[in-house]
Structure 1
């Protein structure tokens, strides 16, 4: 991080943050549209932001710069698949930093806080989803210690007709 780091803090989200967080979610949706042609038009809500604030198995944090929210992200404790080594894992999502504040290490700072919260829950496995073609995000997560393990693939077979 560089200039004005003294004015930056990371704190738990509260209900009065909801309007700004809803705005951030739509910024994220619009940024992800080029990577996912299956997304519906218009506003999309991937999840309930309010539930992240009240759910004890979730930690929604915001990046505060001089009493202005400029970023956010959540960690959520989820049950692993029965065949995996770990019983639970921390899932990170809703990772957003205002474009004006990118390149200052804020995403890594936020991820570090979320990882510490997951660890405080007695969990050491942390996962997240990122669009394969979103190179900037993939590189940011690699820099934060994440490694790719699975690629989801799709096929629209609606045009195949009777040839199936």
Structure 2
């Protein structure tokens, strides 16, 4: 594997991050019939980059951004044992860089960030039928917890 560096994203990375956001949407579109037609956006990236309770990380290889993700501190439900947890989103690795362990490096960095915030729980959402993503998250130590179901009327 070529050397990969994980670092905090900056506003200078916004152009690449916006392209990655569209990559995430394109990858998820086959699993979600409720998504509107393009153009759509999931994230307010400048706001996320400025949020002191969040971190946006990028994976860089040969001075090119090849992966991304964020973790954001969120309040837990009143009935949970913990008060807050870190929520992961925007996990993306460019198609040409997949299979090199980049997602795993990002996950390890998010685990370290979460622990450094004094949090004990990391959560994410993944489409149940996105088996490739589910396997990647299981490989990083995640386990299925709750399945959200829907019914179109």
Runs of 4+ that moved beyond 6 A: none
Look up the match of 1:66: 62
TM-score normalised by L of structure 2: 0.98
Q: What runs of 5+ residues in structure 1 fail to find an aligned partner?
A: 158-164
1:121-132 maps to which residues of 2 (within 5 A)? 121-132=117-128
Deviation of 1:43 after TM superposition, in Å, equals 1.9
Task: Calculate the aligned-residue CA RMSD, in Å.
Answer: 0.7
SS in 2 for 1:92: strand
The structural deviation recorded for 1:35 is 0.3
Task: Name the SS of the counterpart of 2:141 in structure 1.
Answer: coil
Q: CA deviation at 1:118?
A: 0.9
1:18 aligns with 2:14: yes
**Number of matched pairs:** 153
TM-score (norm 1): 0.91
**Rg (Cα) greater in structure:** 1
CA displacement, residues 105-162 of structure 1 (integer Å, 9 cap, x when unaligned): 11010010011011100001000000000000000000000000111111111xxxxx
| Separation in structure 1 between the aligned mates of residue 12 and residue 122 of structure 2, nearest angstrom | 28
Provide the residue aligned with 1:40 in structure 2.
36
Q: Is there any run of 5+ residues in structure 2 with no aligned partner, and where?
A: none
